[in-house]
Amino acid sequence: MATTDRQATTLALAHALSAAERGLAVIPLSRTKLPALRSPHRSSDHTPNQPSNRSSHHDAPEPAAPPCRGECGRPGHGVYDATADPARIRELFTAAPWATGYGIACGLPPHRLIGIDLDVKSGTDSTSALRELALRHLFTIPPTVVVLTPSGGRHIWLTGPPDAVIPNSASRLAPGIDIRGAGGYLVGPGSRTDHGVYATAPGTEHLVPAPCPPSLLRLLLPPPRAPHPATHPSVGNRGQGLVQFVLAAHEGQRNTRLFWAACRAYENGIGRALRAPLIDAAVHTGLTEHEARATIASAARMTGHRP
């Protein structure tokens, strides 16, 4: 069994390096199709760079830290570890000798891969559903790379334009059709899982991923966000400024800005009135509503207020 696993790891690494030669960023996967490397933060009960021991039970709660996406420099951040650098790929596989497959990150240049995952496990005819969508919206899937899954499904590889960020979704287009976009990954051909081996469909081995048809691309794009609501007049200019401070956040500082703004709001007695506008502003920048509510609740506790 150990010999078989070593062979599977060697083959997975070879396939991953071959994919990297085509400009595809990869990560090692386990037999469960999940990233093979565990997060370096999972075993910790405190945020990075934060002392694990507290001197007193009277200490104030620590602010919620934004999730690490590899900024710490250690491997184990899932798709955020993805790379096309051969030396780095070998390092990742060396750190995960149990890996038997590899994942291909979607949404990254130069290909900006989009995966159309046609599932059959749900008992739905996803192929027919895609055909009906194509007829209804007048598009044709061009010749492109197709990967056959062990369960009998298919992954259709397409590429997106530089200005489009395609989100991941499950059965949003139709039952059994999942989309792998920015922040997602596809199991690469040659990967071995508990259910079998992923393989490129005959006749598509030497194709390059084809551009996504414009009509299909429009279906994959998220609906436009409604303009963020204006802050209620009762919070005054101070509240308006805090909301604008959150709206100006870039990726990597969204959670930090939200926490700071929420603390200032509670300290100035407008925390309760500003809670909803701050949540709306945070969601507008890309945080989920759950993340925004948790951060604001942490700010309320930090400033001695009841969330």
Identify the bridge partners of residue 37 per DSSP, sorted by sequence position.
none
Residue-level pLDDT at 64: 46
Query: Residue 298: which pLDDT band, with cuts at 50, 70 and 90?
Result: confident
Q: What are the Cα distances from residue 100, in Å, to 5, 70, 262?
A: 7, 23, 45
Amino acid at 300: A
Sorted by where each begins, the domain ranges of the chain are 2-42+62-103, 106-220, 233-302
Q: Report yes or no: 200 and 187 within 8 Å, Cβ to Cβ.
A: no
- pTM value surpassing 0.85: no
Which pair of structure tokens corresponds to residue 62? Answer: 């620590």
Looking at the chain, how many residues does it have?
307
Q: What is the pLDDT of residues 1-44, one digit of tens each?
A: 455 578 999 999 999 999 999 999 999 999 999 999 988 876 44
SS3 content of the chain, % helix, strand, coil (to 5): 35, 15, 50
Which pair of structure tokens corresponds to residue 25? Answer: 């960023």
Q: What are the Cα distances from residue 146, in Å, to 75, 194, 267?
A: 29, 21, 56
Closest Cα to residue 238, out of 210, 269, 213?
A: 269
The edge-to-edge listing of strands for the beta sheet with 185-187 is 26-29, 101-105, 185-187
Residue-level pLDDT at 51: 35
Lowest mean pLDDT segment, chosen from 55-59, 182-186, 194-198: 55-59
CA angle, corner 77, sides to 3 and 47, nearest 5? 130
Query: Residue 81: which pLDDT band, with cuts at 50, 70 and 90?
Result: very high
pLDDT at residue 80 tops 70:
yes
